[in-house]
Structure 1
Amino acid sequence: MKAAWSGTPLAMLAAAPARLDAFLMANNPDLHHADHDAQGYASATVTPEGFSVGFNKVKPLNPDGSAPAGALLYRTRLTAPRGAVEVRVERL
């Protein structure tokens, strides 16, 4: 992402993922979760009761290139219940 934004007015934000996340969330009231410093995966579940997505952020590799013990860093779940407009964000 840093290379893509190089030379643009937003290059300073792209250089610091946490700053970029804060900027995006402050300027978009519909954005409920941002993490541009994440490696991991997401899984979505759609049911008659609603829609949810679980984001699983993993730890980076150790300096020697080996996998860290307990690779999962944290989970975040976004849920949109049927018939509701709000999105619930839970850090698990």
Structure 2
Amino acid sequence: MARFEMLEAGFGTMGATAQADILFELGMMYATGRDCETDVVTAHKWFNIAAIKGSTRAAELRSELSASMTKGEIAHALREARDWMTTH
């Protein structure tokens, strides 16, 4: 069995950054309707999760998106994000 050591200090956090980028891209996909129907609730959900994972750009876009959403839509998006975070 092969064995290697991770000597670079930032190596352990690389996965979190990559995950935030992927989640941000999911938000962009739903916000713009790229390869799917535009869905602001789902876009908000993914931007919210990406922001929690450290994406400042996702937090900015989530805020911009919220300005055009109803309180009910925002509440629904927050519930979906919480449910996703609980199961993943």
**Structure having greater relative contact order (Cα 8 Å, sep ≥ 6):** 2
TM-score after normalising by structure 2: 0.23
The structure with the greater share of residues assigned to strand is: 1
The structure with the greater share of residues assigned to helix is: 2
TM-score after normalising by structure 1: 0.22
